[in-house]
Amino acid sequence: MALSHVKARLIRSGALASVGLIAVCLAGAAQPSGRPDAVFSVHGRITVLAADGYRVAVTTHVKPGCGRIVVWTAPGKRSTRVKPGILGCSGDGVKQLAVGGGSVAWIEQGGGNNLEMTVMAAKLGGTRKQIEFATNGDRAGADPTGAWVGHLLGGGSLLAYNSWTQVCDKPADQECGENDPLLRVANQKIVRIAAGHRIVVTRGAAAYPLVAVGGVRMAVQAAGGVTVRAASGSQVATVPGPAGNARAVALSKTRLAIERALTLDLYNPSTGAVINSLPLGTAAGLRLADVSSRLALLRGSQSIVVVRLSDGKRISFPLRPGAAATLVGVRLTEAGLFYAYNTRSASLPGRIVFEPLGKLLNRF
């Protein structure tokens, strides 16, 4: 059936919304079996993507005006939109985004001489709320000392981020620049966002940097290895390793994945026990993005590779035509795979694609 006929039928049935957020179940690439992947189009160009379960969130940029944070529940037609705060609209925009615990959270930044950073959150379908504000001199002032927030991550029941202070150990009349050896991190915290409130669960060197969140746990990578922590902040397990040995870390309810130079190493997140070590082969140059109970996701600048955890088999995931050149983000959840890209469409340039887990497994 021609595309125009399909669209006409959807419009008559009310399946295409008139608010500019359109879910269309059509795929441009051939699929192995079953229905086409779900594709959702949004106003504005997509800049950041985050996902958890069947929910995916993106930030959008429009000219002129203020973009929105759009949360879509795949593969349906329903979505919610949240307007960013002042820094998200008139400043630099939204720089980090996460979904978890039935909420979406983001970090906005802007400022003049100082860098201003705001952590915001909203229950899905609710109003936004400021969680924390931090400022430092790392803007026109070129002074990185001061308060920072970052490493915002979500998954399962959790939303969490780091807050910290950068301190310069030079005399009072001198300043530290970026990467200065006398610039140090202090006052590190893991902060959970729960019911719109800020809850500090871990402090000190053991809290920084937060590198993964999944299921009901969080992972911190330090010089001695990777530590898994419960939602309360208590230590659950530790995987020792030399500093810099872990290229990337991902966490799900049943797997802790650590990407090394040539292998993807899998551990039990409850105990730290080794499960398997999978050779990455030709995919060693890609970066680990996510892990689920059955799959891992590796990403390049214009490509996606999916790894089956049971035997290490890898497949190159076929993106829709034109998606590779403008690929914004990719995420793997227990529900399936999401990716986002931009097109030249004047009205709805942003695209989010969802492939459910069953179809993804059938590709192997």
Element (H, E) at 351: strand 350-356
Contact (Cβ atoms closer than 8 angstroms) between residue 307 and residue 291: no
Q: What are phi and psi of 262, to 5 degrees?
A: -130, -5
* Strand 329-332 relative to strand 217-222, pairing: unpaired
CA angle 64/68/73 to nearest 5° reads: 145
Do 100 and 157 meet the contact criterion of CB atoms below 8 Å apart?
Answer: yes
- pLDDT of res. 34: 57
pLDDT given at position 11: 35
Q: How far is CA 6 from CA 1, 21, 153, in A?
A: 7, 17, 38
**DSSP 3-state of 281:** helix
**Which pLDDT score, from 0 to 100, does residue 196 have?**
92
Enumerate the β-bridge partners of residue 154.
159
CB 21 within 8 A of CB 79: yes
- Cite the DSSP H helix spans in the chain: 3-13, 86-90, 357-362
Residue-by-residue pLDDT tens, the chain, 364 positions: 443 443 334 333 333 333 334 334 334 344 455 567 999 999 999 999 999 999 999 999 998 889 999 999 999 998 999 999 999 998 999 999 999 999 999 999 999 999 999 999 999 878 899 999 999 999 988 899 999 999 999 999 999 999 999 999 999 889 998 889 999 999 999 999 999 999 999 999 999 999 999 989 999 998 889 999 999 999 999 999 876 689 999 999 999 999 999 999 999 999 999 999 999 999 999 999 999 999 999 999 999 999 999 999 999 999 999 999 999 999 999 999 999 999 999 899 999 999 999 999 999 9
